[in-house]
């Protein structure tokens, strides 16, 4: 089979044949970043948690027995970003400068929009930290609300932008900002 035919279709980003986490024999490896320069890295990731309108209303009212759902999810996202190397086996542990998590209820879409921004001065990017923060925030909301809505769906987790490092700037096309609360 032609290797180009096996690649997923391009969606506006750079597609490369080089996978840095594989050695010459095709085995998984941790990338050696020791010789890379330290640069300011910023990544933004987003996702959403879809739910029943009644569930979203209860979250917005603060009427759930487990307490402040959005506040707890925000903290879970920050905490998870700080521990990303424990979630992702080949990920470097990074000293993060900051992690911000925004959660915006969207009644029209019956969902909560989730955005995480991770920043560091490091030799490698913070994409995974931002993505893990989004995932953990969404899973925390699910955990706190599953007693009233097991049909919730966490999805559309994606990198929105990154800056820093050798590859420089990258931004996903046609992305709308998450409203700030």
17 annotated active-site:
no
What is the Cα–Cα distance from 156 to 91, expressed in whole angstroms?
Answer: 22
Instruction: Given the residues 2, 17, 23, 143, select the one marked as catalytic.
Output: 143
Active site residues per annotation: 143
């Amino acid at each position: 089979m032609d290797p180009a035919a096996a690649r997923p279709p391009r969606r506006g980003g750079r597609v490369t044949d080089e996978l840095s986490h594989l050695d010459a024999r095709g085995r998984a490896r941790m990338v050696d970043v020791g010789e890379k320069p330290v640069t300011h890295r910023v990544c933004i990731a987003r996702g959403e948690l879809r739910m029943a309108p009644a569930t979203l209303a209860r979250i917005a009212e603060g009427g759930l027995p487990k307490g402040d759902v959005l506040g707890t999810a925000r903290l879970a996202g920050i905490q998870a970003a700080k521990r990303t190397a424990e979630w992702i086996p080949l990920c470097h542990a990074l000293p993060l400068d900051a992690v911000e998590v925004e959660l915006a209820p969207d009644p029209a879409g019956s969902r909560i929009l989730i955005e995480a921004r991770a920043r560091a001065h490091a030799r490698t990017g913070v994409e995974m930290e931002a993505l893990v923060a989004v995932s953990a925030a969404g899973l925390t909301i699910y955990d706190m609300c599953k007693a009233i809505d097991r049909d919730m769906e966490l999805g559309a987790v994606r990198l929105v932008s990154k800056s820093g490092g050798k590859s420089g700037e990258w931004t996903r096309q046609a992305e709308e900002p998450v409203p700030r609360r």
